[in-house]
Amino acid sequence: MPARIGVDVGGTFTDVVLALPGGRIVVNKTTTTPQDPGEGVAAGIAAVIAEAGLAAGQVTEIVHGTTVASNTILQKAGARTGLLTTQGFRDVLEIGRIRTPGMFDMTWRKPEPLVPRRWRLEARERTAADGSVVTPLDAESVREAAAFFLAEGVEAVAICFINSYAHPAHERAAAALLRAAAPQLLVTASCEVLPEIKEYERTSTAVVNAYLLPAMRGYLSRLQQRLAAIGITAPVQVMASNGGMIGLDAARERPVFAVGSGPAGGVAGAARLGDGIGAADLIVFDMGGTTAKAAIIEGGQPSLVTEYEFRDGISTPSRFVKGAGYMLKVPAIDIAEVGSGGGSIARIDAGGLLVVGPQSAGGDPGPACYGRGNAEPTVTDANMVLGYLNPTALAGGSLRVDAALSREAIARRIAGPLKLSVEEAAHGIRQIANVNMARAIRAVTVERGKDPRDLALMAFGGGGPLHAVNVARLLGIRRVLISPVAGVFSAAGMLAAEAVHEFVHPLLMPLAQVTPALLQAARASMAQAGHAALAHEGYAKETVELRYAADLRYAGQSSQLTVPVGDFAVAALHAGFERLYGETFGYTAAGEGVELVNLRLSAIGRAEGRIDFPSLALDARALAGAVGERLVSFARGEAPVPTRLLPRAALADGPVHGPAILESYDTTIIVPPGCTARAAGSGTVVIEMEAADA
């Protein structure tokens, strides 16, 4: 009997979900232990096992979304890392792509490279763009570098040579020389991660990987020890940025794939949940305490990017700005994030304008209503004042709050200075947060050539169900879905993931010159690698699916599109590219040359016992809730409306017409006037709107 556990370590809480066959799930929320997150993880796991009445040995698998990689970068707590480059190119990492994220800001600080210039050394070698050798690798220059790295106390080294994507022999040889000369150095060669063209992106990716090696390895070892101490020996899988899982060995070798581990679980879960209720195309909207995130799912698959920039906390959703973070050329879910969450602080700027976020009161001290010393009003306080949230207790009664403190904070900091009523100011805070969050959704829809009005919005996270309908209305979306276990959905989502290993075969040649033999050879070598990686993690060949894609572009353009490949034929690649190009950009340039940049493979292993949402049996707590009535202010300038409070279970008796509030211990669902909520299966609530604007 597979008993699988999903673990999501967030900034404030560590969420653990245990799923049993037959649909029973047990959830736990515990405080994150930043010193060693594994401590909170083990505690949460012990709690769910105990509650489920299982023995530790009955746990078959743990899927882990971890922020260890991302936090290691943000806190600059990675390895003392060195870099070995081709002669003439030690500064590629620091030069980067030259752009700045803002305009007119002369105080901007460019992110410090993760490898200081001193530890960026050059090897005598050169490969040409066609893969031919211009200057053979000088082994002595590598050995000298190894000696210098050791003398300097460097722990990890990345190697990235110019044009190694075309011919990795020099990089491989240099890696072998380094490992032989200095066995204690952790070495990442760029061709061992993903060998794509563009030296800065490849260098940055290899450097981040090397930088993360000791931290990730240390964390995973300690976690295994902690789990062993409570009797758990089940394999641990790590969520990767692309929404798949990778095994422990892969995570130890290529931690760069896990930098986006944290937010991936929710998106993977949303895809699986949508699949269960016949919603294959979705906008995913995850609103937490500090940020809100948006992604889209098309045809049941999360929409991916092949490169992204990892940066500190808040990313503006605008696609024009680059340069604020660390470039990672690995497949990742296309997530836009804005600094609007329940804890986002509202303030008035120098020009008298109301601004919400990105500063957040987080979970501690938290919103003013928590009464823990924060006097600045937050989005949660606005929700308190308007009656959206229970005025005395949250989280099923476990968190005492005081709505009077919310009112006081908004009155003093916002309403007073702006000469507004407290309710008006609260509506303002909510509305500004909603507009910001709508912008994140625009970034993954409109800016990608997709009309959000064609999609349903699936909301989860602590604040998602509180804001979803209003955000949807701003975008003309008529249908909102609220996930089950919304408060811990990311952890549940981990249990929906499949094992995914990514491979790339660089080609960069005119499509017209590509021969069937070349395509078949590339396919065969990638297939072999894919099967080997999954076999290593215990997936039998019949549980493996190989999904191929091709990166194509018009000759001379630098931006490329990733096209799924069914048929390995040049004509099919061409047709697939033109179709996708037309959909994305609104025209095609028929007759212009097309280039094949890369072939890609996602090798997928079907996990046993993936969470099955249709059979999900929500526990009584998730369905129970207060019954009664409360005054809620739904619209600015209108009188508050008496609003029914219902438990989520009430949906079993038929649709609930707004205004209504469905309260349960992990989330509060708002059904505004003019909206109707229904049970949509799999524990999901669907809210349909009559009018699309507000």
Partner 1 sequence: MPEDPITFAVIKNAMDAIVDEVAYTVIRTARSEIVKDVMDYSAAICDAKGEMVAQAKTIAQHLGAIPEAMAAVQARWGGQLEPGDAVVMNDPYSGGMHLPDIFMFYPVFEGGALLAWTVVICHHTDMGGRVPGSNAADSTEIYQEGIRIPPLKLYRAGVMDDTLSAMIGLNVRVPEIVLGDLRAQYAACQVGARELGALVRRYGADGMRGHLAGLLDYAERMARAEIATWPVGTYRFTDHIDSDGLSDDPVPLSVAITVVGDGTLKVDWAGSSPQVRAAINSTLSFTKSNSFLSVRCALRGDIPNNAGVFRCIEVTAPEGCVLNPISPAPVAARALTGYRVMDTMFGALAQIVPEIIPAAGEGGNTVVCLGGRHPDNRPFIIVDMISGCWGGRPDQDGIEAITNPSQNLSNTPVEVLERQHPVRIEEYALVPDSGGPGRFRGGLGLARSYRLLAEDAVLQLRADRLRFAPYGLEGGEHGGAAANWLGEGNAREAIPGKVTMRMQRGQLLTHHQAGGGGHGSPLARDPEAVARDVWNGKVSVEAARRSYGVVIENGHLDSIETARLRGQQQGERA
Within residues 282-321, the interface with partner 1 by CB under 8 A covers 318-321
Closest CA to 4 of 587, 460, 443, 609: 609
Of 21-29, 210-218, 272-280, 435-443, which segment contacts partner 1 by CB under 8 A?
Answer: 435-443
Nearer to partner 1, 8 or 551 (CB): 551
| Phi (first) and psi of residue 110, to 5 degrees | -75, 140
Residues 73-132 that bind partner 1 (CB under 8 A): 88-92, 94-100, 102-110, 116-118, 128-129
Residue 177 CA to residue 57 CA, distance in Å, equals 43
Nearer to partner 1, 424 or 612 (CB): 424
DSSP codes of every residue in 244-298: -EEEHHHHHH-GGGGTTHHHHHHHHHHHHHHHHTT--SEEEEEE-SS-EEEEEEE
DSSP codes of every residue in 140-206: HHHHHHHHHHHHHT--EEEEE-TTTTT-THHHHHHHHHHHHH-TTSEEEEHHHH---S-HHHHHHHH
Of 3-11, 236-244, 555-563, 657-665, which segment contacts partner 1 by CB under 8 A?
Answer: 555-563
Q: Which of 1, 350, 571, 590 binds partner 1 (CB under 8 A)?
A: 350
As measured in angstroms, the least distance from the Cβ of 361 to partner 1 is: 20
Q: Which of 144, 307, 447, 612 binds partner 1 (CB under 8 A)?
A: 447
As measured in angstroms, the least distance from the Cβ of 480 to partner 1 is: 20
Nearer to partner 1, 587 or 620 (CB): 587
As measured in angstroms, the least distance from the Cβ of 432 to partner 1 is: 5
Residue 368 CA to residue 384 CA, distance in Å, equals 10
Q: Which of 217, 252, 636, 678 binds partner 1 (CB under 8 A)?
A: 636
Q: Which of 167, 170, 442, 501 binds partner 1 (CB under 8 A)?
A: 442
What are 506's two structure tokens?
A: 């660089």
Q: Which residues of 297-316 are buried (b: 16+ CB within 10 A; e: fewer)?
A: beeebbbbbbbbbbbeebbb
Of 66-74, 282-290, 557-565, 604-612, which segment contacts partner 1 by CB under 8 A?
Answer: 557-565
Q: CB-based contacts of 17: which residues, under 8 Å, 6+ apart?
A: 5, 6, 7, 25, 26, 27, 28, 48, 485, 488, 491, 492, 494, 495
Of 208-216, 242-250, 446-454, 669-677, which segment contacts partner 1 by CB under 8 A?
Answer: 446-454
# residues contacting partner 1 (CB under 8 A): 76
Q: Which of 67, 163, 190, 237 binds partner 1 (CB under 8 A)?
A: 163
Q: Does 590 bind partner 1 (CB under 8 A)?
A: no
Residue listed under structure tokens 């050798």: 133
Q: Does 516 bind partner 1 (CB under 8 A)?
A: no
Residue 190 CA to residue 164 CA, distance in Å, equals 8
Nearer to partner 1, 303 or 664 (CB): 303
As measured in angstroms, the least distance from the Cβ of 314 to partner 1 is: 15
Nearer to partner 1, 1 or 103 (CB): 103
Nearer to partner 1, 117 or 657 (CB): 117
Q: CB-based contacts of 579: which residues, under 8 Å, 6+ apart?
A: none
Q: Which of 352, 515, 571, 691 binds partner 1 (CB under 8 A)?
A: 352
* Dihedral Cα 174, 175, 178, 182, nearest 10 deg: -170
What are 645's two structure tokens?
A: 């409070």
Residues 205-244 that bind partner 1 (CB under 8 A): none
Residues 173-212 that bind partner 1 (CB under 8 A): 197-201
Q: Does 435 bind partner 1 (CB under 8 A)?
A: yes
Nearer to partner 1, 57 or 449 (CB): 449
Q: Which of 20, 47, 305, 355 binds partner 1 (CB under 8 A)?
A: 355
Nearer to partner 1, 109 or 541 (CB): 109
- The amino acid that residue 44 corresponds to is G
What are 428's two structure tokens?
A: 């303002």
As measured in angstroms, the least distance from the Cβ of 249 to partner 1 is: 30
